[in-house]
Each structure stands twice: as structure tokens, then as C-alpha cells.
Amino acid sequence: MPRARRPAIAEALRHRVQRGLASGALRPGDRLPSTREMAADLDADPRVVADAYRVLAGDGLVELRPRAGVFVGAAPGAAAEQGVASAAWLADVVAEGVRRGVSAPTLGGALDAATRSRPVHAAVIAATLDQAVGIARELRDDFGMVTTAWVADQLPSGELPRGVARANLLVSTEFTAERVLRLGQELGIRAIAIDVRPDLLSPEWRLLLREAQRGALFLVLADARFGTLVQTFLHGAEGADNVRVLVAGQDDLAVIPPGAAAYVTEAARERLGRSRLPDRLVAPARTLSDASVRAVAEALVTCNLSGPRRRRGLAA
């Protein structure tokens, strides 16, 4: 497998730190994986990872402490908190626009019209609540969509909820794709099926699983069925036998020792409230595959640039 280059690694690390800060999984001063640890998990040259960390340090996202390691920046700037892209990436976008005949002054307006001219309401229909809420959060955070989350087998057989019937976009997972795509045809609503990244077992997760070999990694979920899917996904990974699944609202979270690593799904967070969350959270990673990101982006642009859709047989 070819080794990743510095720009790709820098952007991946930037995204993970921003996600961690936004979710509360990371705080200023938290220690990040070392250059060698990250290089091993990314199959990258340690010098390339070190360069990527230096790029993030220049943006104030991380702090490099000699002989101590890499830490989340003491005061990440507004760009980090808002997820603003790097100058180099934006320059590439502007350059590509010029190559396609779109001048730099008009590019911003074109992007604004294609992404923010009208609200896009997306109904996410998945097999479990954790999946639905997690994907809905990602569409809201990354694409600015107005989202609702639904569990497929809990949808009524008669009149559909307003959040589904009046959506601009229906989003399904592989387990609900057939039903949702058919529903989209019946309602005249654009529907897409998404899948997850093939590298979803991220470096941070692999490091946590190694740590779990010495203790335990706790997964706090809202739907026990999602726990089965996660355990199947982790099957065979080192440390997976020490992963403990807890269901919010059913299991006692007091069994999580202070300082133990815990991944809490968005649905479980909503059920628990922020005040009851464990003190060491694992940051949520971007879950959509590159192909799914492209499909959602196309749906976003199409909805923004098209006129109001016609509804088929829906009550006002």
C-alpha cells in the first residue's frame, strides 16, 4: 500500500483534532499520539507525520513540546473551532475554478448558491438509532443540512411522520436501502444509500484497542443492536475482547472507571445529557465513505440549484 503524503496526513489529523474539540472528546492540553505511533498506524514515514504535525502547530491546533510529545493547542483559534480549511486547500479550489473558467471573484458566490441558497431537509432512516442519529449529525455538521433521524422498523405503516414526508432528501444505510429508495420513488423525493469508510478503524481507535489490552474500552450506545454491529466490526482486532458495551438508560455507567476511554454515540449523548458523560471521550470520526460524501454533496448542490420539488399526494 503506498504511503500517504504530508498534505493528506495533515488534513486527516486536522479533521480529527477539530472533531475531538467539537465533541468534547479532546480538550486543550490533551496528549495526542506520538509521531512514531501515528506513523505506524498510518503506514507513513515518521518524518512525513512530523511535518504534518508541524503544519498543525503553525495553525495553533497542536503544540509540540520537546521531549514531551504532541498536545492539543492551549488555545485553538477560531479557524480550528469552525473547521475552516487550510489556505493551501482553498488555493487549490480557487485554481481549479480558474482552470474551469470560473473567476476567483465569482467562485465564492457560486459555492454559496450551490450550498446555502435554500435549506435542505434530510431524513436519515437507518437500522438502529445510533446509526441514524450519528449520520444525521454528520450531515448537519459537514453539509449544513436540517436533519431528522428515524429507525426503519419504527416508522408507522400508514401516514409517514412529517420529517420524512416533507424532506428534500432521504438517506439510508445498506440495511435499509431497498425500502428507503422505494419510498423515495413513491414520494418523489431524492433518495441515496450511503456506506462507511473502509478505514473506519482509525489510528486513534487502534491505539485505544491496544490500550484496552491492559484494561477496557467502553462503548456507550442507545440501541443494543448497534452494539452487535460494532462488535462484529471490531472482531479480530487486537484488544477487541476487552471492549465493553453499555446501553444508555439501561446499564449503570458508574462501572466506567475514572480516566477510562469511552466512546459515546450521539444518540446516547442525547439520552444522557452532557453532565453525565464519562470524563475521557473518544472523538467521533467522519464515517461516510468518499463515494458517499460525493453523493451527499451532489444531492446538496442539486437541491440548492433546483426549484421547489413537487410533492406527490402529501397533505400540507
CATH of the domain at 83: 1.10.10.10
15 and 69 belong to one structural domain:
yes
265 and 139 belong to one structural domain:
no
Domain membership of residue 103 (yes or no) is no
159 exposed, middle or buried (CB, 10 Å; 0-12, 13-18, 19+)? Answer: exposed
39 and 188 belong to one structural domain:
no
186 and 141 belong to one structural domain:
yes
Domain that includes residue 218, residue range? 203-276
CA-to-CA dists, residue 24 to 20, 89, 132, 148, 264, angstroms: 6, 26, 21, 22, 11
Provide the mean pLDDT of the chain: 82
**Consecutive 10-residue averages of pLDDT for the chain (316 residues):** 60 76 74 83 83 86 89 64 60 91 92 91 95 94 94 88 93 94 93 82 62 75 88 76 88 85 86 74 76 94 76 40
The enclosing H or E element of 34 equals none
- CATH value at residue 183: 3.40.50.1980
Read off the pLDDT of residues 35-65 as tens digits, 9 standing for 90 and up.
Answer: 888 887 677 888 988 998 988 888 788 899 9
243 backbone dihedrals φ, ψ, rounded to 5°? -80, 125
Total domains in the fold of the chain: 3
161 and 190 belong to one structural domain:
yes
Q: Is 294 helix (H, G, I), strand (E, B) or coil?
A: helix
Domain membership of residue 316 (yes or no) is no
Adjacency order of strands within the sheet including 217-221: 243-247, 217-221, 262-264
Read off the pLDDT of residues 55-109 as tens digits, 9 standing for 90 and up.
Answer: 888 878 889 998 888 998 876 554 444 445 566 678 888 999 999 999 999 998 9
Domain membership of residue 145 (yes or no) is yes
Model confidence, pTM: 0.74
> What is the chain's length?
316
Residue 26 CB: number of other CB atoms within 10 A?
23
The helices-and-strands tally (H runs, E runs) of the chain is: 13, 10
Cell numbers that stand for 117 in this block: 441558497
Domain membership of residue 101 (yes or no) is no
What is the C-alpha to C-alpha distance for residues 93 and 260, in angstroms, rounded to an integer? Answer: 41
Domain membership of residue 125 (yes or no) is yes
Could you give the residue ranges of the DSSP H alpha helices within 24-172? 35-42, 46-58, 78-82, 87-99, 104-116, 129-143, 162-165
122 and 163 belong to one structural domain:
yes
**Confidence at residue 86, expressed as pLDDT on a 0 to 100 scale:** 61
Read off the pLDDT of residues 107-127 as tens digits, 9 standing for 90 and up.
Answer: 989 999 999 988 999 999 999
Domain-terminating residue out of 50, 72, 87: 87
219 and 241 belong to one structural domain:
yes
76 and 22 belong to one structural domain:
yes
Cell numbers that stand for 244 in this block: 465493553
42 and 80 belong to one structural domain:
yes
109 exposed, middle or buried (CB, 10 Å; 0-12, 13-18, 19+)? Answer: exposed
189 and 300 belong to one structural domain:
yes
